[in-house]
């Protein structure tokens, strides 16, 4: 009987150990892949965006700090991408539509940044933009980064991994990046969860207006 | 004692950097060969450890349930995609892998398995069968790359490895259920 009790207690200890192990190993049951773990870390750190120079579909060239004191809703793509990017951008368009009109352009700017700086000149970007009727070139802009070095810095800061396959295509991770008025990363969101992303943005803006 | 030495030798060979690097370079070998071999090393070393301190194991693992629980927890932990990645990128996690698999999974498995009733054994195998099917589906069907260190192709291969093992376990369970062992003794 005594042995049974000790065995029972060992069982309890083992379960507690397992719980702690999984809790620590997955950042509190949130991150089951190294990728999500990396994302949580980034969101906790809230890194500041490096000041990169953009060239948009209208051929305008300006630093990203132009959007200072506005929220930025960013995606990374390239225009010849046939797989994820069209979905990513379409979903971005749906988020755009769910944001109340009064905030659009005024408080939040949508920005699709191409990492294919060689191919995606203003012309290619303008052509691509036509596929997305919400993208007006003002409140939702498509742009490339002029300097390769600056682009790499930005991708690195936001944890975007882009691997060129050498044939003009890229393997890359996709997400919505939400940046606050001070140019610090606020959140990285699942690009397939449109409602969640839109709610997050609207909540932040509403809260601000109440204050 | 002999078995302990073989187990220890296996453990040392597996821990050699060139060997571990080689085994870890392929996803399915990492999970379905290196990790089980580490458990086997612990399993072999276990006999000696259990004989040396029978009181300890008798006292705290009287019916084998805590031991098999610990074994299962360690197994499941190393099936999480993240832990495989981190074993490659973080020294501490790699160290934990080499300690936990032999000593927290292999040794308790040795001590527990003979203590379990045949019903509990079947329950354990059934749970692992379901889990392996689930992991197999996860790794084969996930559109995303789950591990940063391995390609999607490798991930799918690993998934099929899980499914194959699950099928083997199903065959074993069916065999156990329908074949009367005594007929062949």
ipTM of the complex: 0.89
Mean pLDDT value across residues A167-192 = 89
pLDDT at A178: 95
The residues on A that touch B, with CB distances below 8 Å, are 3-4, 6-7, 10-11, 13-15, 17-18, 21-22, 25-26, 31-37, 161
Please answer whether residues A133 and A94 qualify as being in contact, where contact means their C-beta atoms are separated by less than 8 angstroms. Answer: no
Q: What is the pLDDT of residues A38-89, one digit of tens each?
A: 888 888 889 999 999 999 999 999 999 989 889 999 999 999 988 788 999 9
Q: Given an 8 Å threshold on Cβ–Cβ distance, is B66 in contact with A37?
A: no
d(CA B102, CA B46): 9
* Per-residue pLDDT at B100: 97
The model carries a pTM of 0.76
Percent of chain A at pLDDT > 70 equals 99
- Is A15 within 8 Å of B69 (Cβ atoms)? yes
Tell me how far apart the alpha carbons of residues B30 and B83 are, in angstroms, rounded to a whole number. 12
Give dist(CA B22, CA B72) in Å, integer: 26
Q: Beta-carbon neighbour count of residue A143 at 10 Å?
A: 24
More confident residue, A27 or B39: B39
Nearest Cα neighbor of B113 from B56, B71, B169 is B71
Helix axes A84-98, A194-210, angle to 10 degrees: 40
DSSP symbol at A49: P
pLDDT tens digits, residue range B74-126? Answer: 999 999 999 999 999 899 999 999 999 999 999 999 999 999 999 999 999 99
Of A127-131, A135-139, A170-174, B133-137, where does mean pLDDT reach its minimum? A170-174
B12-38, pLDDT tens digit by residue? 999 999 999 999 999 999 999 999 999
Candidate from A4, A11, A33 with C-beta closest to B146: A33
């Amino acid at each position: 009987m005594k042995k049974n009790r000790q065995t029972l207690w060992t069982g309890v200890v083992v379960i507690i150990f397992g719980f702690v192990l999984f809790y620590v190993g997955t950042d509190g049951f949130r991150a089951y892949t190294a990728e999500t773990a990396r994302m949580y870390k980034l969101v906790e750190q809230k890194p500041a965006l490096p000041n990169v120079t953009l060239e948009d579909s209208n051929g305008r060239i300006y630093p990203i700090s132009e959007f200072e004191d506005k929220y930025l809703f960013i995606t990374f793509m390239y225009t010849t991408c046939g797989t994820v990017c069209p979905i990513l951008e379409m979903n971005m368009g749906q988020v755009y539509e769910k944001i109340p009109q009064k905030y659009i352009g005024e408080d939040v700017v949508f920005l699709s940044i191409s990492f294919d700086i060689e191919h995606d000149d203003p012309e290619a970007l303008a052509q691509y933009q036509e596929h997305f009727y919400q993208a007006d070139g003002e409140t939702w802009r498509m742009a490339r980064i002029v300097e390769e070095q600056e682009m790499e810095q930005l991708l690195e800061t936001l944890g975007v991994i882009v691997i060129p396959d050498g044939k003009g295509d890229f393997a890359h991770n996709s997400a919505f990046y939400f940046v606050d008025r001070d140019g610090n990363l606020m959140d990285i969101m699942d690009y397939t969860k449109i409602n969640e992303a839109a709610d997050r943005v609207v909540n932040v803006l509403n809260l601000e207006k109440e204050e | 004692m002999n078995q302990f030495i073989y187990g220890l030798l296996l453990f040392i060979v597996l821990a050699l950097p060139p060997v571990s690097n080689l085994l870890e370079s392929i996803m399915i070998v990492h999970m379905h060969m290196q990790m089980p071999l580490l458990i086997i090393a612990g399993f072999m070393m276990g006999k000696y450890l259990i004989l040396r301190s029978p009181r300890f194991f008798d006292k705290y693992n009287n019916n084998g349930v805590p031991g098999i629980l610990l074994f299962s927890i360690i197994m499941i932990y190393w099936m999480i995609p993240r832990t495989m990645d981190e074993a490659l990128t973080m020294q501490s996690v790699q160290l934990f892998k080499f300690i936990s698999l032999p000593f927290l999974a292999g040794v308790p498995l040795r001590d527990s398995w003979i203590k379990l009733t045949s019903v509990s054994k079947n329950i354990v195998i059934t749970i692992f069968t379901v889990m392996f099917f689930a992991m197999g589906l996860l790794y084969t069907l996930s559109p995303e790359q789950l591990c940063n260190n391995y390609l999607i192709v490798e991930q799918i291969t690993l998934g099929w490895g899980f499914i194959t093992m699950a099928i083997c376990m199903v065959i074993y369970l069916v065999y156990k259920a329908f074949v009367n062992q005594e007929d062949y003794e």
